[in-house]
Structure 1
Amino acid sequence: MHTFDTIRPFYDSEVNKAIHSIIDDPMLQAMMMFTFPDDRNQDWKRQMLHTHSLRDFQINFIYPGLKKVLEKSSDGLSYSGFENLEPNTAYLFISNHRDIILDTSLLNGCLYENGLVLTTSAIGDNLVKKPFLNTLSKLNRNFTIERGAQGRRLLESSIQVSSYIRNSLIHENRSVWTAQREGRSKDGNDLTQKGVLKMLTLSHLGKNPFDAFKEIKVVPVSISYEYDPTDILKLPELLAKARDEKYIKSENEDFLNLLRGIMGTKKHIHIHVSGVINDEIEEINQKEINLSEKFAELSLLIDHKIWKGYKLWPSKYIAFDLLNETDRYSDRYNAEEKEAFLQRFKEKVQTEDPVTRENFLAMYANPVKNKESIQMINQP
């Protein structure tokens, strides 16, 4: 499949050579010292040099690293819904997106612990420009999405990605993770972009694009962090948008977000998979509405599945009450939890600036607002 060579992860036959190319990189050394702090003899290096498959690399090195990250920077990971998925079955996981690396790593950790097919996962090419990160990404079974493409090149790139996803799901029986939108949600308001859904159908040439979903198993995923480790790093872009200003990323911004996401404080984390939604997709497809309206309904369906599955930690309720100057959800948190959130809030934010204050709190409060909207729809 040479048409995928510019975006695909390594084949197993390429793994060992790739490992040899980075084995002495200081960044890899630091990662493994963190992952295996008691390994004084660098046994990890000997094992890695004898690794010849992506799965072995992920299970023997990435998974232990993930467990160490959770141990050092969280109060634990919980999950739900995985019992409804089938072994040896490929799924298209469409997820809300908070953290560059952890979202997919956490999902794969849950899939591994439940004996399910691991994913190949989308990542923006802007995040893997450094040679070491590019190699590590391919070893972790990531495929790249070209950011910044326009016009004809954007269409070509989108068709290539769509074809790669379809090939992975149908011909390789490999699950795929993709975010519900381009890039992470900065404001906590998780909305599915129709463009992402349309991209998924581009490989279904010559047929009704919506029929493309019949051949794959679409599963919405909700990822909930009690504390967003990159919350303060997301604020400048939110503030620029609030002030109708153009936001320009700093040179190392993506890398700083990557590091903060891994090691920053998260407290509790929960992942929920909603189950396959193919029946609901087929209901939409049978409606006598135009294609644009079908994609709009599918976007809303995925939104609602993600919002419903999102676990609302005390931090979300506290932020909602502070933002709206109410005590509506005061029974969902205690005084200690509120004080801890306020301390974090005051340390990170210029609380006297109303725009900064509002944007920071909304980042945490929007999931509560979204779940409220679902409950209102479902009321008799």
Structure 2
Amino acid sequence: MKSDISEHAENRFDALRPYKDSEVPGVLKRLSHDDEFQAAIARYQLPRLDAWAPWLARALVGVSLRRKMRGVNTIGDFQVHIADYMRQMIDRTVDELIIEGLDELDPSKPRLFISNHRDISLDPAFVNLALHFKGRDTVRIAIGDNLLEKPFVSALMRLNKSFVVPRSSAGKREMLKAFQLLSEYIQYSIQHDNHSIWLAQRQGRAKNGIDRTDPGIIKMLSMAERSRQRDKPMAEIFAELNIVPVSISYEYDPCDINKARELEAAAEGREYRKQAFEDMRSIAAGITGQKGRVKVRFGTALDQHSFDSTDELVKEIDRQVLSGYQLFPSHYLALEMLGIHPQLLDMSGITEKHRQRFNARYAEVPEHLKNWWLHQYANPIINCKAPELLEAG
């Protein structure tokens, strides 16, 4: 019966699923000859040569890609390469990576990891790296279709076990149909394919530093089962998904200035129009930028709890995400500089070195964006300690 389900799913989920092992060699061959992919790498790795002789830079990149792809025949092989690059990234841009709570989770169970969302690619990447360090299988990653602007980007994401979340479907009926299929795929992955999933608690990053679970995301999770068994209790549906909240904390956000621009535009009632491939540049900035310390806290599994409504589950995910969130000196220094809510300050662990680093980053922020930049770092304190003050504001 399971093989019948799998065979049917392979066709039904083709539009959104990650690649299979059997597809990897063909995809890599196409990528190694993709002009746009070669050009993107050449601009990053060989900028001077690309400006002088782009044809030569791209030819060299193509040769290098084909050499690096030798022996990469499965998704697992590809992710070993990703793990190597992640280690290099951590060595260059992370002062300390803190991982907590994973040892408390049964490794034999597939999980639906739901985390707060601050960085487009690094949030699931850090979750994957934590799993990889412990010898556990990595997750399938939910990624918005708005990020798949180029075929080579889509190919890379799907090679890294990403599946597509609809964000640009035209019309309510089409969007509901797309979310129904997404709900079915998540349920299929966990219950039939024995494969874990990473999902952000909301669509889009929390640019203001306020982590809140979108009830619509949680409602989507129940759509598939409710369509089959309308009277099935919500508690049973949620329990079968093996949900684990995850909290991800960055001491510094490499994209903080760009986020401040979006916050300023929203506050002034202006539409913020992203430039072409701005999301791709945000991904690159997040990977290469300095992050200070990073903490990934895996929460308590929720499959043994009973949540009779979406609201109950949302509250528990928020509680665990916020209780596991690490408040760094950057957060307290921002709140202090804003001069608000002094009762929430705890400056006991802050050193002169912390201040110097914070002030150096603050000095790089354009004057008209400083207030929004500070609020990004201050808001997590308020959200964790006194969320009612955010509502009042």
| TM tier, smaller | 0.7 to 0.9
Q: 1:153 to 1:72 in 2, by over 3 A?
A: same
1:335 correspondence with 2:361: no
Q: Superposition pairs for residues 216-295 of structure 1, below 5 Å?
A: 216-280=241-305, 282=306, 284-285=307-308, 294-295=309-310
> Could you tell me which of 370, 374, 377 is aligned with 1:361?
374
1:157 correspondence with 2:178: yes
In the alignment, what sits opposite 2:119? 99
> Could you tell me which of 331, 356, 366 is aligned with 1:349?
366
In the alignment, what sits opposite 2:383? 370
With the length of structure 1 as denominator, give the TM-score of the two structures. Answer: 0.87
Listed one character per residue, the Cα deviations across residues 109-158 of structure 1 (whole Å, up to 9, x for unaligned) are 10011122210001111112211111111110000112122310100110
Q: Which amino acid aligns with 1:197?
A: I
Listed one character per residue, the Cα deviations across residues 288-335 of structure 1 (whole Å, up to 9, x for unaligned) are xxxxxx222221211110010011111111112222354832213112
In the alignment, what sits opposite 1:288? none
Q: Which amino acid aligns with 1:333?
A: I
Distance in 2, Cα, partners of 1:52 & 1:209: 43
2:145–2:168 Cα contact (<8 Å) kept: no
SS in 2 for 1:246: coil
In the alignment, what sits opposite 1:121? 141
Listed one character per residue, the Cα deviations across residues 233-286 of structure 1 (whole Å, up to 9, x for unaligned) are 111211122122222222221121111111111111110000202334x0x31x
Moved more, 119-128 or 242-251: 242-251
1:318–1:329 Cα contact (<8 Å) kept: no
1:218–1:278 Cα contact (<8 Å) kept: yes
- Deviating beyond 4 angstroms after TM superposition, the runs of 4 or more aligned structure 1 residues are 27-34, 42-47
Distance in 1, Cα, partners of 2:274 & 2:65: 36
> Could you tell me which of 63, 75, 79 is aligned with 1:58?
79
1:297 correspondence with 2:297: no
Q: Which runs of 5+ in 1 are unaligned?
A: 35-41, 286-293
Aligned residues: 355
How far apart are residue 373 of structure 1 and its match? Answer: 3.3
Identity, % of aligned pairs?
34
How far apart are residue 369 of structure 1 and its match? Answer: 1.3
1:95–1:178 Cα contact (<8 Å) kept: yes
How far apart are residue 70 of structure 1 and its match? Answer: 1.1
Q: Superposition pairs for residues 30-49 of structure 1, below 5 Å?
A: 45-46=66-67, 48-49=69-70
How far apart are residue 84 of structure 1 and its match? Answer: 0.7
In the alignment, what sits opposite 1:88? 108
Distance in 2, Cα, partners of 1:365 & 1:79: 23
SS in 2 for 1:364: helix
Distance in 1, Cα, partners of 2:43 & 2:314: 38
1:227–1:266 Cα contact (<8 Å) kept: yes
Q: Which amino acid aligns with 2:30?
A: S
1:219–1:274 Cα contact (<8 Å) kept: yes
Q: Which amino acid aligns with 2:300?
A: G
1:73 correspondence with 2:93: yes
1:196 correspondence with 2:217: yes
> Could you tell me which of 313, 325, 331 is aligned with 1:316?
331
Q: Which runs of 5+ in 2 are unaligned?
A: 1-8, 47-62
Q: Which amino acid aligns with 1:367?
A: P
Distance in 1, Cα, partners of 2:282 & 2:65: 27
Q: 1:180 to 1:31 in 2, by over 3 A?
A: farther
With the length of structure 2 as denominator, give the TM-score of the two structures. Answer: 0.84
RMSD: 2.5
